[in-house]
């Protein structure tokens, strides 16, 4: 990564996949010069970041700059609310990692109207804040119980997200030869040169 992120404050939010990427992604962005604040809620949908509720799945975690990760696994924890996080950290860039919780793995088909509603609930708040945004889609998983995360469904939900997350810029993780080729804890995001509005473009790349 280069110095394109120097001086930026980046707010990263995500679902259970971000729980696995908490150190790797956070540290990559920090090494590039950004002040990074990362939050993850296991099992959270995009709408869960907008309205106050509780996390009923496997907990939540947060990571602030170079401080240790704080993980909470208690039942019925309160959700993080995006508007609160924006007010607290004043980010220049928001990175959203989400897709698994709206993909309907194991179901006959994706609930497209519900997915779009969930996504637009979150992107509407981001658009109102006038903060640049990148949205990272789902990565490969295991096509077996309990998640039944098939490659076909990952591609399908990625395509739908790419059409729905505006004004966020969609980042499609690399489609590698097989689901085990790039586990989430080793996926990397690289920075590119700044865009016309002075914000960096982030890009997923293959694992090392």
> Whose CA is closest to 190, among 22, 20, 31?
31
pTM: 0.85
121 CB burial (10 A radius; 0-12, 13-18, 19+): middle
Mean pLDDT, residues 119-130 taken together: 96
The range of the structural domain enclosing residue 183 comes to: 3-205
Q: Any idea what the CATH number is for the domain that residue 191 is in?
A: 3.40.50
In the chain, the number of structural domains is 1
Report the distance separating Cα 89 and Cα 30, nearest Å. Answer: 15
- 179 has a pLDDT exceeding 70: no
133-175 pLDDT tens trace = 999 998 876 666 667 788 888 889 999 999 999 999 998 875 4
């Amino acid at each position: 990564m280069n110095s394109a992120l120097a001086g930026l404050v980046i707010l990263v939010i995500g679902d259970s996949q971000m729980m696995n990427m908490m150190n790797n992604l956070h540290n990559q962005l920090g090494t590039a010069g950004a002040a990074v604040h990362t939050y993850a809620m296991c099992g959270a949908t995009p709408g869960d970041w907008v309205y106050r509720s509780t996390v009923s799945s496997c907990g939540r975690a947060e990571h602030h700059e170079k401080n240790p990760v704080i993980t909470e696994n208690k039942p019925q924890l309160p959700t993080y609310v995006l508007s609160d996080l924006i007010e607290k950290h004043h980010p220049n860039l928001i990175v959203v990692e989400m897709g698994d919780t709206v993909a309907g793995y194991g179901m006959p088909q994706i609930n497209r109207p519900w997915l779009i509603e969930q996504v637009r609930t979150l992107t509407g708040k981001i658009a109102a804040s006038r903060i640049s945004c990148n949205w990272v889609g789902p990565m490969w998983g295991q096509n077996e119980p309990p998640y039944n995360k098939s490659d076909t469904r990952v591609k399908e939900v990625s395509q739908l997200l790419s059409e729905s997350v505006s004004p966020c810029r969609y980042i499609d993780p690399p489609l590698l030869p097989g689901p085990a080729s790039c586990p989430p804890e080793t996926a990397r995001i690289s920075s590119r040169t700044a865009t016309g509005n002075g914000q960096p473009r982030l890009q997923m790349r293959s694992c090392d």
